[in-house]
Amino acid sequence: MAGPDSKPVITAPAFRDYPSIPALQPGATEGVRCYVANEKIQEALGFPGKLADNWQETHDKAIGRMGELLDKYRSLRVYMDACVHCGSCTDKCHYFIGTGDPKNMPVARQDLMRSVYRRYFTPAGKLFPNLVGARDLTREVLDEWYTYYWQCSECRRCSVFCPYGIDTAEITMAGREILDHVGYGQKYSNEIIGKVHKIGNNLGLPGPALIDTLTGLEEDVKEETGCDVRYPVDEQGAEVLLVTPSADFFAEPHIESTIGYGKVFHAAGISWTFSSKASEAGNFGMFIGNYDQLRKIALRVREAALELGVKRIVVGECGHAWRVAYAFWNTLAGIGAGANDPFAVELQKQLDPRYKQPTHICELTWDLIQQGRLKFDKSANDHRRITFHDSCNVARASRMGDYPGGQFDIPRNIIKAVANNFVDMAPETIHEKTFCCGGGGGVLTDELLDIRVKGALPRMEALKRVVDDHDVNFMATICAICKAQFTKVLPYYGYKSGMVGGVHQLVSTAIQLGNEQ
């Protein structure tokens, strides 16, 4: 059995000859649990430090919180009632496909909570619990929630196939919120959120270190290209504030895309800056389903934008960050347009209405390409045969450009504009049907490596087909978590870590900075 206490040997599941649905293996991943947050981490976010000694107290708090969430979130209320157990979602989750554990079937993951909802909030469950699959909330049930709500990457693939649009991510978020509320938080996510509040980004990189890193980057790029491409921080009066996941500042291959962002701004002559206060696009408040945390983290971007006086806010390559930015920032922090309340108007009157606020870096680059403001030497990417992995939050929870589905076309259009060899993976594994990398939604932590490797199976199978048929050697993606996850799990499937990289890494390779003669 795999678990944080043993040293499991983690192996990738075998590639399937046909995309057959696995037989159920009850309990297959019941031992895969992430570390629980300690008191210090919990209390820094205003959550109880640990579970109460007395179970009744925990029980009442959990049920009380559930009632509050049912009153606050229509999604949760409707999704608890609407499921008919039709089974359409049962084979859609990458964790189920990779592990065979029936509790990783989306409907079963939902039922972990729905069974409790029925017992405490519906007449049928109060009167006939056994008939309708209702059960009391016990310590065992709470542990089960912790295990399986932390084996969900909130990727929303199941919701695409649900006849009522039931989104397991919403239920996972509610589950995690209840767990936090009773002092049963996850170390990985809550520690990271603490770092954002204290230092400004997920990786805990303080302002001076950030400036130091970026100065070094300027020197490297100068050496490589001969151009004075700048990577400025906190530059007052810059036109664009670029908010990017902090992994982009030094992780591989993330940094290659960061170099690309700077080159795009340089070539287009747009003044821009990073912010040391908003040095993180990621927002793990979403992962834990906590509105307050989600909002507080988003407000840092608002404050930075107001302080720096920028006209545009652009977001770097990050999946869930783009979901939060695109779909939530206007609500949380007034970053957007169309508001008439003083809070949002204060910022919106500063932002340039000619541009979408916020803008995805891919939207910005693609606009520049269409205007003919960027020049490329496509042959510079000829050593690469490229495919594109749609990141779940970009694909199923956001948009780019002016029409539904622009989030699929724009990154691909950029790749085709900067490289000659592009091929898509199988249609049932891309666009809205894309498979999660296996590491999203707050599970990108080493003690969950077992399910991360197994959850990557469907994506790896799709990749294998284009590797075998088209000699693909590069999988581009626009998500910091996808990049980190693939870097880690590709070797388990026999591929090199370096196969994964960013779209702006490809841009960076091919872009002409104006001094090439």
Query: For residues 350-369, which are near another protein according to CB under 8 A?
Result: 356-358
Judged by CB under 8 A, the stretch of 208-216, 264-272, 274-282, 341-349 that binds another protein is: 341-349
Q: Any contact of residue 18 with another protein (CB under 8 A)?
A: no
Q: Any contact of residue 197 with another protein (CB under 8 A)?
A: no
Within 387-406, which residues bind another protein (CB under 8 A)?
395-399, 403-405
User: Shortest distance, CB of residue 403 to another protein, whole angstroms?
Assistant: 7
Give the span between the Cα atoms of 466 and 405, in whole angstroms: 23
Q: Any contact of residue 338 with another protein (CB under 8 A)?
A: yes
Q: Any contact of residue 148 with another protein (CB under 8 A)?
A: no
Q: Any contact of residue 407 with another protein (CB under 8 A)?
A: yes
Within 280-299, which residues bind another protein (CB under 8 A)?
291-292, 295
Asked if 52 contacts 58 with a C-beta cutoff of 8 angstroms, the reply is yes
Judged by CB under 8 A, the stretch of 188-196, 209-217, 272-280, 338-346 that binds another protein is: 338-346
Q: Return the number of the residue (351 or 419) whose C-beta is nearest another protein.
A: 351
User: Shortest distance, CB of residue 459 to another protein, whole angstroms?
Assistant: 19
Give the span between the Cα atoms of 308 and 398, in whole angstroms: 27
Q: Any contact of residue 328 with another protein (CB under 8 A)?
A: yes
DSSP bridge pairs for 272 = 240
Closest CA to 298 of 328, 261, 275: 328
User: Shortest distance, CB of residue 207 to another protein, whole angstroms?
Assistant: 28
Identified binder of another protein from the candidate list 6, 54, 56, 130, rule CB under 8 A: 130
User: Shortest distance, CB of residue 310 to another protein, whole angstroms?
Assistant: 16
Query: Going by C-beta distance under 8 Å and a sequence separation of 6 or more, which residues neighbour residue 64?
Result: none
Number of alpha helices (DSSP H) and beta strands (DSSP E) in the chain: 23, 9
Judged on CB neighbours under 10 Å (0-12, 13-18, 19+), 178 is buried
DSSP bridge pairs for 474 = 386
Q: Is the dihedral of CA 101, 105, 106, 111 positive or negative?
A: negative
Identified binder of another protein from the candidate list 12, 52, 78, 227, rule CB under 8 A: 78
Single-letter code of the amino acid located at 80: M
Judged by CB under 8 A, the stretch of 145-153, 166-174, 495-503, 509-517 that binds another protein is: 166-174
Q: Any contact of residue 111 with another protein (CB under 8 A)?
A: yes
Q: Any contact of residue 161 with another protein (CB under 8 A)?
A: yes
- Both structure tokens of 126: 């109060």
What does the per-residue mask of binding to another protein show for 237-276, with x meaning CB under 8 A?
----------------------------------------
Q: Any contact of residue 77 with another protein (CB under 8 A)?
A: yes
Asked if 310 contacts 232 with a C-beta cutoff of 8 angstroms, the reply is no
Query: Going by C-beta distance under 8 Å and a sequence separation of 6 or more, which residues neighbour residue 365?
Result: 264, 374, 414, 504, 507
Q: Any contact of residue 303 with another protein (CB under 8 A)?
A: no
Q: Any contact of residue 424 with another protein (CB under 8 A)?
A: no
**Beta strand 312-315 with 359-360: parallel, antiparallel or unpaired?**
parallel
Identified binder of another protein from the candidate list 108, 362, 419, 510, rule CB under 8 A: 108
Within 170-189, which residues bind another protein (CB under 8 A)?
170
3-state SS of 372-411? CCCEECHHHHCCCCEEECCCHHHHHHCCCCCCCCHHHHHH
Please give the C-alpha separations between residue 478 and each of 85, 318, 422, in angstroms, as whole numbers. 34, 6, 16
DSSP 288: T
